[in-house]
Amino acid sequence: MNVQVAEIPPFRPTINLRACALYFQLIRQSQTDVVTAFSVHLFRIDHFFDSSLLTLLCSWFSQYLIVVKGWSVPGHRCSSLGCATGVSDGTPRVVAVDSGLKPALVYDTNSAGPEQVQRYLGKLRALNLVTNALRIVTINDNVLIVNIDLIIVHLEEVLLKKNIAVIDVSKSRAQPALATVDSSGIEESIQGILGILRTLERDSLVVPAVGEQLCAGWNLCSLYGVLLGFPVTYWFDQNSFENCLSMVPLVVTTVRASWDTVVSGYGHAFSSFSIPQLLISETQSLSDTWTEKLQERFGEQSAFSAFTVSTETVNLPSVSL
């Protein structure tokens, strides 16, 4: 079968299942010239958020070629959150939030604003990939996708049990040291964002915005560590946004799982955090409890398989928080 790229039906903003079936037929037949040209064609298409199926297909298609075929895909890039294998590389992380594997994520896959991300979630819901539990919140112009059911319980637990390690990495320190939720002032920001989240209705499309005035005194780096559900979060004196982590050995914990909707056996990194090596023993019990709870949640969902937790030690000349 000799299919030319020109014969492939174009994608429209509506779901085009016939085109989708033909694309996957080309992939299965391993027609190298066609699929390579097709990958170039895909990454030239605009308005990705107006065509969610196209967005997902780009991700599926790219990951198939990279993981299974070992090919180089035009448009393939790497981001700070892991290897991005398509314009919708963030989709598995969104599904992880929806599945209860993490309470929230900062949407930084691309420069999309709240309205675009809202449409994107709507398309994912239409494809039955996520539920109505996902909401959007903006904090100082950063877009967060939150599991509204999980994040409220999570924040209430942090306030009640103080079950998170706060690490002071202020530039003035010779080395990182443990602080507390109370002494760092994080509690105020948690209570502030929790008050906003409690007012949200589960199925509302209103996007609450926490502006600069409201969060002026908040350490957003610390708050994001709490919102993302990590067992530790960094804090620093905001008189200087530098820190003391330069060339400090950091133990990086990464959680991966296979989202079988894309490619079975390919481990998506949906959560990653670091702890200074010198504080590992003092934070070990919190990390162990965090891992155990995550394993329990993993057993309660069906979107992901092949759950793994790995660690590696890195030394970096500079660390941006």
At position 250, the amino acid (one-letter code) is L
Of 87-91, 115-119, 228-232, 300-304, the range with the lowest mean pLDDT is 87-91
User: Are the beta carbons of 134 and 145 closer than 8 angstroms?
Assistant: yes
* pLDDT surpasses 60 at 2: no
Residue 101 is encoded by which pair of tokens? 């594997």
User: Are the beta carbons of 97 and 147 closer than 8 angstroms?
Assistant: yes
What pLDDT, on the 0 to 100 scale, is given for residue 321? 83
Q: Pick the residue with more confidence: 145 or 209? A: 145
Q: Residue 120: beta bridge partners?
A: none
Q: Pick the residue with more confidence: 298 or 7? A: 298
What pLDDT, on the 0 to 100 scale, is given for residue 79? 32
- How far is Cα 131 from Cα 113, in angstroms, rounded to an integer? 21
- List pLDDT tens digits, range 108-148: 766 778 888 888 888 888 878 888 789 999 998 899 999 99
Maximal CA-CA distance, the chain: 69
Q: Residue 165: beta bridge partners?
A: 232
- How far is Cα 171 from Cα 245, in angstroms, rounded to an integer? 8
* pLDDT band (50, 70, 90) for residue 58: low
Residue-range domain boundaries for the chain: 6-77, 91-314
* pLDDT surpasses 80 at 13: no
Instruction: Name residue, tokens 């994107």.
Output: 120
